[in-house]
Amino acid sequence: MLLLPLMQSLVWIFLQMNGIFNPGVIQSDYIAFVLIGTMLWQMYNFSFDSIGNSISTSIKPLIQGYVPVYTILISKFAMVLVRFFITLIINLFIIKFFTGIELNVIGFLLFTIPLMLFCLSIGMVVSMVEVVNEDIYTLGKEFNKVLLFLTPIIYAPDMKSSFIQYITSSNPLTYLICIPRSILLYTPTLSMNVYYSYSLGVLAIFILCAIIYSKRSRVVIEKLIE
């Protein structure tokens, strides 16, 4: 599983080097740009997939009362973070070894916190919905495949197309992913004011989701038993 982000990154790098698509003006090394963007996207995607079905896949111990619901949630998110940090170490080694560019790792980790909270919030909501209607969870996974192309992972956020710019600027993942990447690579960033606004919004959503999850997750499980 840890090789998946690297394999996807190599595919996009191959396409770009062969002129199959034009990603726009990238003000950093393209290999570093794609590796970091893909890694951050994978944290979101893996959170959706893993945390999103955390209740249904652990229903037996939850029903029998062996573990609290929050224990399952925390363990699943811990797996997401472990995967993220292992991939980060690998990518930082590749970037430093092959490009030698300077990296702001501490700043990157700090500016990644809102994305982590966003991932956890999405996971909590999806996990409760998935127990009631698995089709919504499946539909969400398919939508994420489209969302990948609507997020500036492999192309610059300031594309010439006004339509693409409108879509990406309306996508919160654009700021939650592009800002930390720019901080890490010491490149010009998007609007920090918008990023801070999204970050405050994410914090509010996280608190709300945590409250709802603590109150409703057990109710969802009991309804499933009935």
Q: What is the pLDDT of residue 30?
A: 84
Is this model's pTM higher than 0.85 or not? Answer: no
Q: What is the pLDDT of residue 16?
A: 52
From 46-50, 98-102, 218-222, the region with the lowest mean pLDDT: 218-222
Q: What is the pLDDT of residue 20?
A: 41
Q: What is the dihedral of CA 81, 87, 90, 93, to 10 degrees?
A: -70
Q: What is the pLDDT of residue 5?
A: 56
Average pLDDT, rounded, for the chain: 82
Shortest CA distance to 4 belongs to which of 31, 41, 30, 32?
41
